[in-house]
């Protein structure tokens, strides 16, 4: 994609007042939702240009590439937007775990009949070892 086309693509997106757009990352083969994050114009541009996901962290107020700390990167396979162009679905090939708590998916808890949350997945790594916290 040339620079002009890329800029036209970015201009057509409807970012929220805070300059962000939600990005739902799904496994390109299973379609399992792995994580939800937010992108600004720069992170969306870099995601398109590099084929690796980049985001804006609302809690840390920081631009980041998925896997920069853990090595658990995401290779972009396809990017979709909804009819309003205000939400993205990004099909990815996940290398390692998507969740910073060590699970493949951030959605590893399921509500049970008693109102509690059951862990329904196995950890792939120990966050204390990966993030040295």
Q: For residue 111, with 0-12 CB atoms within 10 Å meaning exposed, 13-18 middle and 19 or more buried, which class applies? A: exposed
Q: How far apart are CA 92 and CA 65, in angstroms?
A: 14
Full set of structural domains in the chain with CATH: 3-97 (3.10.20.810)
Q: How far apart, in whole angstroms, are the C-alpha atoms of residue 94 and residue 103?
A: 12
Over pLDDT 90: what percentage of the chain?
Answer: 87
Tell me the pTM: 0.92
Query: What percent of the chain stands above pLDDT 70?
Result: 99
pLDDT digits (tens, 9 = 90+) for 48-58: 999 999 999 99
Give the pLDDT confidence of 30-76 residue by residue, as tens digits.
999 999 999 999 999 999 999 999 999 999 999 999 999 899 999 99
């Amino acid at each position: 994609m040339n620079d002009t086309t890329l800029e036209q693509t970015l201009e057509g997106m409807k970012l929220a007042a805070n300059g962000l757009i939600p990005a739902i990352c799904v496994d390109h083969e299973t379609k399992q939702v792995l994580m939800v994050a937010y992108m600004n114009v720069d992170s969306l541009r870099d995601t398109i240009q590099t084929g690796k996901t980049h985001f804006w962290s609302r809690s840390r107020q920081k631009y980041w590439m998925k896997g920069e700390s853990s090595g658990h990167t995401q290779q972009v396979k396809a990017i979709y937007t909804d009819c309003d162009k205000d939400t993205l679905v990004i099909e990815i090939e996940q290398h390692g775990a998507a969740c910073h708590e060590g699970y493949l998916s951030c959605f590893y808890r399921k509500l049970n009949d008693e109102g509690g949350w059951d862990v329904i997945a196995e950890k792939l790594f120990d966050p204390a070892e990966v993030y040295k916290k």
